[in-house]
Amino acid sequence: MSAAPGRTPAPVDVLTFGETMLAAQLPGPLTVGAQARTTLAGAESNVAVGLARLGHHAAWAGLVGDDEPGRLVLRTLRGEGVDISRAAIHPTAPTGAMLREQRVADLARVHYWRRDSAASLLTATDIAPALHDGARVLHLTGITCALGPGPQEAVREAAAHAHGRGWTVVLDVNHRKRLWTAGEAGEALRPLLPHLTVLIASDDELPVVSDAFTGSPDDEQRAVGALLEAGVREVVVKRGGAGAAFRDRQGVRHSVSALRVPVRDTVGAGDAFCAGYLSGLLDGLPPEERLERANTLGAFAVASEGDWEGLPRRDELGLLSAAPGSTIR
């Protein structure tokens, strides 16, 4: 693999890696010839952009093809201030792609072209240089594990490496049913639990990583307790419009309500939430304030078009407290 152009390698605040794809977004069905807006999409790079906009040194160490979509990915991330000095270019495999069409009303439909993509061929060797450079936080997602055996092994080795060196290791479960079943995801992700500092999951993703579900109203707390017993230090549960919750091994618990904003596009909200939570960790905020920042970034995401385009910079974090329809002068 050849190294992608970028800044000189340096220890970073957050290291992440995974698949970033060319994304075509259509305001209507593809079959009627709706015009597309081209951008990029990827859970890990969404988080990296969110962190970079808040002034953190975030690095993305993914793998792209030696093609125009790959060049778009690298140029866009570099332009957003993400460190791509340890990203790499595969000489023959293509960059993955996705198409999202607004089918009817607020129902969107997504199509993927990721089989045999460069990212699906990622190996532990590809990310070794980035791990060697060091980081305060390693951010992982279940999506990368679902791409194939190479990416799954890369995630496992990265988690063990980071945990062994005292980094903060964060996993966003980010279960994608079109990539694998809940059973397959659980089998792959549960071995990571002893290495994790933070596990982030939506309330409906908890069964993927915890067997402690019985169908009772106490399922969430039982599942969180089982995850903490398995070695995770803190669990963050995303509840969408109902807010979010935190619990750690010391018994500290917090919950916060979601911000009320006009919903324009929910895709990318979970990644924005993760970026906000990691930003709060890096800034040394207490758990409740981390959740509030996470909810703030999630609200920016759902109130904006695109996966990452509407995410705030640090001086914009307070914008959502303005009255609806305000003009900031």
Res 329: pLDDT: 75
Q: What does the block give as tokens for 48?
A: 């990296």
Q: From CA 25, how far away is CA 30, in angstroms rounded? A: 10
* Helix or strand run (H / E) with residue 37: strand 37-41
Do 40 and 20 contact (CB within 8 A), yes or no? Answer: yes
Which residue type, as a one-letter code, is found at position 255? Answer: S
**Residue extents of the structural domains in the chain:** 2-308
Res 265: pLDDT: 84
> In degrees, to the nearest 5, what angle opens at C-alpha 153 toward C-alphas 196 and 190?
40
Res 300: pLDDT: 96
> In degrees, to the nearest 5, what angle opens at C-alpha 271 toward C-alphas 122 and 111?
65
Work out whether strand 107-113 and strand 97-104 pair parallel, antiparallel, or are unpaired. Answer: antiparallel
Q: How far apart are the first and last CA of the chain?
A: 49
Res 2: pLDDT: 58
pTM for this predicted structure: 0.94
Which residue is it, tokens 């009817």? Answer: 104
Helices (DSSP H) in 2-66: which residue ranges?
43-53
Q: From CA 81, how far away is CA 214, in angstroms rounded? A: 45
Count of CB atoms situated within 10 Å of the CB of 49: 28
Do 52 and 80 contact (CB within 8 A), yes or no? Answer: yes
Examine the residue annotation and report whether 271 is marked as an active-site residue of this protein.
Answer: yes
Q: From CA 173, how far away is CA 206, in angstroms rounded? A: 8
* Helix or strand run (H / E) with residue 13: strand 12-16
Q: Which of 271, 283, 307, 315 is catalytic?
A: 271
Res 218: pLDDT: 66
Sheet of strand 37-41, all strands in order from the earlier edge strand to the far edge: 37-41, 21-26, 97-104, 107-113
Which residue is it, tokens 């190294």? Answer: 3
Distance of alpha carbon 123 from its chain centroid, rounded?
A: 19
Do 144 and 19 contact (CB within 8 A), yes or no? Answer: yes
Work out whether strand 63-65 and strand 58-60 pair parallel, antiparallel, or are unpaired. Answer: unpaired
Q: Is 208 helix (H, G, I), strand (E, B) or coil?
A: helix
Query: Which residues of the chain carry a pLDDT beneath 70?
Result: 1-10, 212-218
Do 222 and 213 contact (CB within 8 A), yes or no? Answer: yes
Res 3: pLDDT: 56
Q: 2-308 belongs to which CATH class?
A: alpha beta
Res 190: pLDDT: 96
Do 147 and 180 contact (CB within 8 A), yes or no? Answer: no
